[in-house]
Structure formats: structure tokens, C-alpha cells
Amino acid sequence: MAKPPAPGAGALLEAPPAARELGERFRAAGHELYLVGGIVRDLLIGRPIDGKELDFATSATPQETTRLLKAWGERVYLVGVAYGTVSARRGDAHVEVTTFREEVYAAEHRKPQVTFGKDITTDLSRRDFTMNAMAISVPDGAFVDPFGGVKHLAAKTIDTPLEPDVSFGDDPLRMLRAARFSSSLEAAPSQRVVAAMTRMADRLEIVSAERISDELSKLLVTAKPSLGLRLLVETGVADRFLPELAAMKLEQDPVHKHKDVLEHTFAVVENCDARDLTLRVAALLHDVGKPKTRQITDEGVQFHHHEVVGARMARERMQALRFPNAITDDVVALVEMHLRFHGYGEGWTDSAVRRYVRDAGPLLDRLNQLTRADVTTGNKFKAKQFQALQDDLEERIARLAEEENLDAMRPPLDGNEVMAHLGLPPGREVGDALDHLMQLRLDRGPFDRETALAELDAWAAAKGIARA
């Protein structure tokens, strides 16, 4: 991490050119302008800021800001003007300028009530965490840090400018943001932040499902999502939107003391590609059905059909959180299929491999990744054995794909050809015929049109269907 300036020293930081240019314009008009938010934090820790939206706080009213941005930008957006925010774009630069403000949520409402403030310190005091409550004055570059953000950033501590009860009362979603920053920065929340999250977990009920799912998604694609997820479970915040997580905190094997399902889940999530949200959500929910299917027998702990139960639970939860339908459908399919590979060691025929590929469809690569990620055993021999089996399956899939064009696996005849050959009208019998031909394709591999017609005749005869 780059060495930050000393708090309160008025040190200079290099702001982006667009920020300095806007600063000149606002200063000439008699107004203060400050670069604020996460971009200041990122400048301090050396993260790249190219292409990021620039957030500003200003003493100018929304009307004055609009006038100044219209003179500067190519396009101006007034969607947030009621909350004091005006946006603009010029070239690759996208800026958002907000009048100094205070923002509080009424106990029973989801939308904030906004009061415009008078100075940068008051404005920063209403922000979520001290690491985000720093500012750079533009154009002069003076660093403003009234709440010790630099100190906390260097110590990797998550704390609030005001009492955390006030901060989380202003916007309860900040409790999820605390978890996200814990994961993305590998930082630890202060004791008072943890205590406030525990006390105020039920406050999350006023936050929309869409905002919660968006924040959860951001957390899941961080480098260490386990840190934030564990925080949400331990404080009870997760119970307000994803109670299935806490339910997974049980031992898989009370005799041998294997890791509990929740810790296993965290490991699987982090074993998956951080760039793939769908895969990480599937990893988070892949064992969600285990608590409801858990049975202790003489043979140990068993979770029969937990993948089927889990798929249904995953769909219900993702719909409640308003995830997009496409992501939901893919996650549900992955959860339902995540155990399919485990029979491979018993000896799959080529037919079984074809069915695996057909059923996985476009999710095949993700399914194979999830299957690999699901191996979290500390037994190196078992892990190596499992990976060798997975390698073998993927090699067989590649070979069959090259030999048989698995990507285009379909019945050798289409519906029109079936109807023409058998003299059938559109209906159920045509679908049954196509299903029969598809099963033959899966069992045997590719075969030619003549063979397909002969098999169709045999099927029709067995069904008592006379050719017209």
C-alpha cells in the first residue's frame, strides 16, 4: 500500500485531471469542491482508478452545480437532483457531484430524507466508514481526514465516522458494506461496529431486496468472501436475508469432527473463479439443502437428495432477493447437478458421459469447476484421486466432442421429418418419437439417416402406430 499522508497535515494528493479542471471552475464560481468516496481510498492504497466514476461533494446548490456541469460536460443527468446529485459525462470522464448533505432513513421508510449541509466535515461525518470519509480539495489537492480514515486504512480496521448505530441507522445496507470491505480489503471491523451490527440486524428489513442482492453479489466476487460472509453470520445480519447460511453451521460428521457445512461452503466459494458471479452464488448455495436432509445413521452422517432439496431452496431464496432470472436458473441447475460426477468412479460408459454433457448443456464448464471446487478435504491422497478422476472425465468429454460433435448433439431427424415419414400430425407422439431417437443417440453415439428411419419404424410398430 502506498504511504498515505499524515492525517490532518493538509498533504497533497494527485487528483485526476478532470477533477482538477472541475475544481478550477467551481472555485472561480465561489464554491468548494472535493473529491470524495472510494476513489480517495483507492488513491491512498495504490489501486488503479482509470475508468472509475469521480464522486464530488460541493458547497454549490444543485441548481448551481447543474449550471457549471452544463458548461463543462457533453451530457448532464438530473435523475438524482432531488437528493442533491447531478451527474455529467465528457469523453471518458463520468462525474457525480453532490451538494454537502446529511442523509437519514426514517424508521419505517426505505428512501432517505435529505438535508443539505454546510461544510465538508459534516458531509463526511454522514458517510459509511472512515476509510470512505476522506476528501481531496480540488484544484489545490489538500487532503481532508477529520475521522482518522488513514489510520484505520493502514491498520485494516473498519470503523464509522460517528457512532455505528447512527451510521447504520442512516442506511442499514452499510452493515453489508462492512462485510464487503472486510472481504475486499481483508480488514477487520472494530468491536463497536460488530456490536452495532448485532444489535441492529433487524434494521435491514427496511432495505429493498434489490439493494441487498447487489451488495451480496459484490461481496461474493471479492478475493476473500469468507471474511465478510462469516461476519454476517456471526452478527445475525445474514439471518435477515439469507437464513440458510446459519443453518449450515453444523458438523458433517460428529464422530470424526470434519469441518461443518458452512466452513466447507466458504472454502468452495473461494475455490471458484472470483470473476464468475454465477459460479460463486452456486458455490454458496450448493449445500443449502443439507440441514433439511441430515440423517445420522450407523454409517455416519448422510444427506440424501440434498441437491434436489437445495435446488428448490436456492430458487426460492434467489427469487426473494430479486436476482435476475437467467442467473437464478443457472445457479439452480448447478446446485441440482453438483453431485452428478460422484458416480464416475464406478465406471461410466460413453453413454453416461454423453448424458452428463447433454444435461449440463452450456453450464458444462461451470459444473466441472464447481465439482473440482467442492473438494476441500485435507486428505491429500483422496484429493489427488478425485482430481485424477475429474481429469479423466474431462479428457473423455474432449475426445467424444471431437469424434461425435457433442456440441450439436440432437436427434438425427427433426419433427417435420418424423411427421412426414410416419404420416403423423403435430402432437405428443411426435415428441415421444424424437425422445426415443435422442435416447438412442445418447446410448450409441452418432448414426446415419437410414438407421434413424429404420429405428423409427421399429419404434412405431412397437407402439402400434401404422404408417399412413
Whether the predicted pLDDT of 182 surpasses 90: yes
Pairing of strands 85-90, 75-77: antiparallel
Closest alpha carbon to 379 in 259, 241, 219, 248 = 259
Q: Considering only 296-305, 311-320, 402-411, which range has the smallest mean pLDDT?
A: 402-411
Contact 263, 252 (CB under 8 A): no
Task: Give me the pLDDT at residue 305, please.
Answer: 85
Helices H / strands E in the chain, number of each: 22, 13
In sequence order, the β-bridge partners of residue 104 are 113
**Is residue 250 pLDDT above 80, yes or no?**
no
For residue 22, give the amino acid letter.
L
> Given 2.70.160.11, 1.10.3720.10, 3.30.70.2190, 1.10.3090.10, which CATH number is that of 166-335?
1.10.3090.10
Q: What is the 3-state secondary structure (H, E, C) of 236-260?
A: CCHHHCCCHHHHCCCECCCCCCCCE
- 420-423 long-range contacts (CB < 8 A, ≥24 apart) are 421/453, 421/456, 421/467, 422/456, 422/460, 422/465, 422/467, 422/468, 423/467, 423/468
Greater model confidence, 331 or 430? 331
Contact 135, 124 (CB under 8 A): yes
Cα–Cα distance, 436 to 430 (Å, whole number): 10
Predicted pLDDT of residue 10: 38
Q: So what's the pLDDT on residue 107?
A: 55
Same fold, 17-155 and 166-335: no
Q: How far apart, in whole angstroms, are the C-alpha atoms of residue 38 and residue 46?
A: 12
Cα–Cα nearest to 126, from 155, 152, 105? 105
Query: Is residue 133 a contact partner of residue 149, using CB atoms and an 8 Å limit?
Result: yes
In CATH, the architecture of 17-155 is 2-Layer Sandwich (3.30)
Neighbours of 411 (CB within 10 A): 19
How many C-alpha atoms does 47 have within 13 Å on its Cβ side? 11
How confident is the model over 10-40, as pLDDT tens digits?
344 677 888 999 999 999 999 999 999 999 9
Predicted local distance difference test score (pLDDT) of residue 6: 45
For residues 51 and 464, the model is more confident at 464
pLDDT at position 11 is 41
pLDDT tens digits, one per residue of 162-181: 999 999 998 999 999 999 99
Delimit the domains of the chain by residue range: 17-155, 166-335, 413-462
Would you say residue 354 has pLDDT above 80?
Answer: yes
